[in-house]
Amino acid sequence: MAIAELPLNEVEENVYEIPRADDMLVPVRVYASASLLAEMRSTDDLTLTQARNVATLPGIQRYSVLLPDGHQGYGFPIGGVAAVDRKSGVISPGGIGFDINCGVRLLRTGLTADELRGQERELADYLYRLVPVGVGKGSYISTDGADLAGILAGGMEWMRDHGHATDADLEHCEENGKLPGDSNKVSDQAFQRGLKQVGSLGSGNHFLEVQRVEEVFDEPTARAFGIEEGQVVVTIHSGSRGLGHQTCTDYIRRFEKTYPGLVGRLPDRQLIYAPLADQAAQDYRAAMYAAANFAWANRQAMTQAVREAFEVLFGDESVELVYDVCHNIAKEERHEVDGVEQTLLVHRKGATRAFPAGRPEVPDAYRDVGQPVLIPGSMGTSSYVLCGGPRSLELTFGSTAHGAGRALSRTQAKKDFPSGELQESLRAKGIYVKARSKATLAEEAPGAYKDVDEVIRVSDALGIGTKVARLKPMANIKG
């Protein structure tokens, strides 16, 4: 169905619905302001059509959810959530993405912005030397085959047991940094791609950014998170690198071969799926969780690099993990549907889990205030710390946005934002950026993204993720 033909009804402020029709099993719920929705409805954007297609998946419950940062992706829209029944449902690699467990972690330091100011370039250069960036191999910690197999099975537990993490690091990771992965379900090609990449940033929109806490909106929650105005924090955004990408590719191909009749019946072949009861689905979940474990270990290795840099340059040995969230994953969770609590497999594609206070999955230190939610903007704008909102379970299966969301393609961004001018404008704002290539810099220009302030405003207004603090960039390294 063409975008212009999709009916879209306003349910309440910032909530719209595409009613169930034809082969849809549930309606689509779109959580966006009028301005964000207008971007989703542009004639060359398939965001709403993809959300509508997701509503046809067997076993889907309540709604196909589209979050405020929603934009076009592979099969599923980025910023999409789909929860399926554990017995009748399916798993779709397009609902997780090629960068399995791409995620964000926030580190707090013992420095203030005033203490760091004037040394941004030195710090960025040091971090750039420690953390490999861009496409290809390179790692902060050396691993052999046995090490990698251990990481795929153990995630953060392997990192702790081998001296690369603390108990506190595990306690402040979603799922404690480990899911039941099986390295035997990861192809040899994927395994080889990950072998020398533990502690590497990658390319594209991945980054390591040094920030200052510019404003605190919720003092008690910020205090629980250990952050305060003027403090230096560090955000790491990366995922499962080549191993995750290859794993997704492998299983998309396997599903297409296993279910050839399904491909032609789908509204979009990129929605290819496997019934959860089938061996193909079980193998994919085990491989996907292994890749997720790799991603947690990868971000942990970069955390160790940040700790080294702050200790060597500033004598700061107090760099601690606030939280680590994954935003490309499918996991079993308990949710209420039609008044009955049940176990669902929740696909989050470019979406952050945002559980409110009281949920048992939230670490003890944060259970009274809610799960930390980390939403980066771009290298020239604000990023935000939120906490799980009181209406998140009701509206979005406990989810909110994962970032600003792209507004321009990478090709268009390179045309619109010459890298030289962009560097100058960022430095004029006091932001030092170290990038491997001019192309990456242009692709990730602030103007290539939606208005992150508006994304956060909608999330906060809806009560799916509530504002805690705003962060401003000081130095940024990119692949």
pLDDT of residue 444: 75
Locate 120 and state its tokens. Answer: 């941004």
d(CA 175, CA 155): 10
pLDDT of residue 308 exceeding 90, the answer is: yes
In the chain, where the domains are located: 3-91+98-478
| Lowest mean pLDDT segment, chosen from 33-42, 78-87, 176-185, 278-287 | 33-42
Q: Cβ contacts of residue 32 below 8 Å, gap of 6+?
A: 14, 16, 40, 66, 67, 68, 70, 458
Summarize the confidence of residues 430-459 as an average pLDDT.
83
d(CA 182, CA 328): 18
Locate 353 and state its tokens. Answer: 């889990």
d(CA 171, CA 104): 15
Percent of the chain with pLDDT over 70: 98
Average pLDDT over all residues of the chain: 94
**Domain 3-91+98-478 top-level CATH class:** alpha beta
pLDDT of residue 427: 79
pLDDT of residue 270: 97
Per DSSP, 155 falls in state T
Summarize the confidence of residues 443-469 as an average pLDDT.
92
pLDDT of residue 184: 98
Locate 334 and state its tokens. Answer: 């308990």
Exposure string of 57-95, with b = 16+ CB inside 10 Å and e = fewer, is bebbbbbbbbbbbbbbbbbbbbbbbbbbbeeebbbbbbb
Q: Cβ contacts of residue 62 below 8 Å, gap of 6+?
A: 26, 83, 337, 397
pLDDT of residue 50 exceeding 50, the answer is: yes
pLDDT tens for residues 228-278?
999 999 999 999 999 999 999 999 999 999 999 999 999 999 999 999 999
Dihedral over Cα of 190, 191, 195, 198: its sign: positive
pLDDT of residue 440 exceeding 90, the answer is: no
Summarize the confidence of residues 337-347 as an average pLDDT.
96
Examine the residue annotation and report whether 402 is marked as an active-site residue of this protein: yes
Q: What is the 3-state secondary structure (H, E, C) of 307-337?
A: HHHHHHHHCCCCCEEEEEEECEEEEEEEEEE
pLDDT of residue 478: 85
pLDDT of residue 434: 84
* Residue closest to 186 by CA, chosen among 272, 259, 293, 86: 293
Summarize the confidence of residues 341-350 as an average pLDDT.
97
Locate 80 and state its tokens. Answer: 């999409």
| Lowest mean pLDDT segment, chosen from 152-156, 170-174, 475-479 | 475-479
* pLDDT band at residue 408 under the 50/70/90 scheme: confident
